[in-house]
Amino acid sequence: MKLKLVFSYDGSAFLGSATQPHKKSVQDALQKALNHLGIFSKVLMASRTDKGVHASFAVACVECGEHFKDLIYLKKQINKFSHPYIHIRYLKIMPSDFEVRYDVKSREYRYIFHHGHFNPFLSRYVYFYPKIDIQKANEILKYFIGEHDFKYFCKSGGDNKTTIREISNASAYTYKNMTIFHFKANGFLRGQIRLSVASVLKVLENKMDIKELKDQIKAKKQHNHILAPSNGLYLSRISY
């Protein structure tokens, strides 16, 4: 039986989402929780996130025996071993040909800025930053929309066959005392959103102009190689 797991996790507790030799990743922790219940098949993840990046809507898949059909009970048992840093939102039985990574149609991320006084209890989950001009931020973000070669918005070490991606949404909105950047695409490169966010901030701070940003988006020249902090970034949705 092929099982899809939709879950959230606190990225500050892990050194990334993908399995690593030190076993301190989200994938390793989820695998360990499942092993406690007698599910030993390899957990496959739909998306990868860097150290410190969070997820409110991550997806994984695992093969398990038919006797695990009581999904409400199974969810409760997995959470018993995965809490407090991973929480299973729901489980769903999938067709045998379901591919958790390659069937994805789009991925969405949100980057959260907090404009209030610094709070150490929130510092792992938001990026404290001065008030942002929403209108100007949206004017800048619109340049990312469309199909582009994002080779200058990519960290080294990825296994991508191509650096071309199509972004269907890049926008900013406010919520209470926060500004949130929203990105939606058919896929993202390693570090792409954090490099994009940092580049937008550089334009807002007048440390980079629009022409330089457009040159980087058009893969002509890299003007910014600094990433925004990981703690403000959330994987917010994966659609099939």
How many other CB atoms are there within 10 angstroms of residue 142's CB atom?
12
Distance CA 39, CA 58 (A): 19
How many other CB atoms are there within 10 angstroms of residue 109's CB atom?
24
Distance CA 133, CA 91 (A): 40
- Tell me if residue 10 is catalytic: no
Annotated ligand binding at 109? The verdict is: yes
Query: In one letter, which amino acid is 209?
Result: D
Q: What is the maximal distance between C-alpha atoms in the chain?
A: 60
Listed residue (33, 7, 27, 6) closest to 15, CA to CA:
27
The tokens of 238 are what?
């994966």
Specify whether the CB–CB gap between 167 and 236 falls below 8 A: no
- Report the SS3 class of residue 135: helix
For residue 167, what are the β-bridge partners? 146, 185
Given the residues 10, 50, 97, 215, the one annotated as active site: 50
Task: Report how many helices (DSSP H) and strands (DSSP E) the chain contains, helices first.
Answer: 5, 10
- Opening angle at CA 111, ends 143 and 119, nearest 5: 140
Query: In one letter, which amino acid is 74?
Result: L
- Catalytic residues, by residue number, are 50
- The binding site consists of 109
Annotated binding site for substrate: 109
